[in-house]
Each structure stands twice: as C-alpha cells, then as structure tokens.
Amino acid sequence: MYIVGLTGGIASGKTTVMDMLKNLRCNVIDAEEIANQILKPGGAGWKKIKKYFGPEAFLDNGELNRRYIANLTFSKPEKNQLFIMLIQPLIRSHIMWKVVRLFICGHQFVIINIPLLYESKMMMSYMKYTIVVNCTENQQVERLLKLGEITEMEAMSRIKIQMNLFKKSDLATFIVDNSSSREYTQEQVERIVRLLRASKAQWKSRSIFFLGFVSLSVAAAAVYYTKFK
C-alpha cells in the first residue's frame, strides 16, 4: 500500500475533493476530523490545550473556543508553533494506526487529508504522491466571508500566513483546479483516481516491507542460534 497526501489552501475546496474521493470508494483519512476528536472535552488534545493555553481558550460549556484559538494562532506565530507541537504528535499517532489497519487489510492506497502538509511536513517522508486543491485567492476570500465569522482583513491574514497555493502546486504530483464548476472538479478527481489505481507503487511498498521483514527474521534467528547453540 502507498500513501497519498491531500492538501491545499484555506477554503480552496479540500473538503469537496475529499467527499468526491470517498464517493469513488477511496480510503481517506482526514487529519482535521481526527483533530476535532482529540480536541473534544476530556480528549488528549483538549487536556494539552487546557494546560498550556489556559481557561480563556474554552467556552463556558467546556468546549474549545475555536474562534479564539484561530485568532490567536494566526496572529501570533509562537502560539501557532506551540499549538502544532502539542497537537501534531497526537494526530500523527491516530493516522498511523489507521494506515496500519488499512495496510493489513491489503488496500492499494490511502489518501490522507492534511491541510498544512507542506508547512508542517507531517508524514511527508511516507508519501508517494501528493494532491493539491487549487483556486484563486479571491475565491478563498469569498468562501471565507460566506462563513460569516471573520472580516475580509482576517480572511486575507489567514490566507497569507499559509504557503502560497502556487508554490504548493509546484510541489504537487497532481493538481485539482477548483476555481471552476463542480463538474470540472469531479472530472479531475476521477482522472487522478484512475491514475492512482493504475499505479504499481503498492507492489514496491509491499516488496520493501517483505524484504525488511525477512531481514529482521534472519537477524533474529541468527541471534537466537548464536545464543542457544
């Protein structure tokens, strides 16, 4: 099995593409969904945030004050780094367990949605291919403003703090242009899935795993024989 990274910019349409991939029966792991789970009251991430960010990071009902955290991390790089340092290892651990289970079940590939893939470098060394969802900056701003929770200035600030979408696209294996119609986005996603399913990368991955397993077995047998002969 091989791993494919899915990323893009804020409000570029990653969720739309992710839903399309799921509808095409691709295995998709969503780092954002995992983050939401561990940040629920009482969760491992929630406890870490409470310890390092204080009570002001929470609402009266105990849930994380996401607007407060977003404004804080987008405006103060040191707080953003602290948040990443606290949460990223937990997310990575959950992702790896899901990947291992899919590998054991014999799946060809898995797609992992990581919004800040290139910025965080999380699991980049494990990824065979990457997909970037692209659109124009104006579209990003428009989509953020439709949420009705931030101003245009805040929207621009959140876009600028991330790696430029054009730069991300230069680093990607595949690009999904989500600046046009939904039908056009769907066509691109279907083409990428066909290419992924035609890839032989899974056999290379399994061969490497098998050779590694054999090497470890031989080494263990040699140690056992030397010790007990």
Quick one: which H or E segment has residue 158?
A: helix 152-160
Sign of CA pseudo-dihedral 208, 209, 211, 212: positive
* Residue 172 Cα distances to 7, 92, 143, 182, angstroms: 9, 21, 23, 21
- Taking 60 as the threshold, does the pLDDT of residue 4 lie above it? yes
pLDDT band of residue 225 (cuts 50, 70, 90) is low
78 or 215: which leads in pLDDT? 78
pLDDT score at 203:
54
pLDDT score at 219:
52
CB distance 89 to 67 below 8 Å: no
- Taking 90 as the threshold, does the pLDDT of residue 39 lie above it? yes
- Taking 70 as the threshold, does the pLDDT of residue 214 lie above it? no
Name the nearest CA neighbour of 91 among 99, 80, 79, 101: 99
- Residues 103/192/95/51 CA torsion (nearest 10 deg): 180
pLDDT band of residue 221 (cuts 50, 70, 90) is low
Where are the extended beta strands (E) located within 158-223?
A: 174-177
Report the pLDDT averaged over residues 206-214: 48
CB distance 210 to 7 below 8 Å: no
Q: Position 162: which residue type?
A: Q
- Taking 90 as the threshold, does the pLDDT of residue 10 lie above it? yes
- Taking 80 as the threshold, does the pLDDT of residue 215 lie above it? no
Q: pLDDT tens digits, residue range 126-182?
A: 999 999 999 999 999 999 999 887 899 999 988 998 999 999 999 999 999 999 999
- Taking 90 as the threshold, does the pLDDT of residue 37 lie above it? yes
CB distance 77 to 67 below 8 Å: no
CA 1/CA 102 separation, integer angstroms: 8
Q: Position 81: which residue type?
A: Q
Q: pLDDT tens digits, residue range 61-108?
A: 999 999 899 889 888 889 989 999 999 999 999 999 999 999 999 999
pLDDT score at 205:
55
CA 116/CA 103 separation, integer angstroms: 24
Where are the extended beta strands (E) located within the chain?
A: 2-8, 28-30, 109-113, 127-134, 174-177
Report the pLDDT averaged over residues 107-122: 95
pLDDT score at 213:
43
pLDDT band of residue 25 (cuts 50, 70, 90) is very high
Rg (CA), the chain: 21
Sign of CA pseudo-dihedral 205, 206, 207, 209: positive
DSSP reduced 3-state for 127: strand
- Taking 90 as the threshold, does the pLDDT of residue 201 lie above it? no
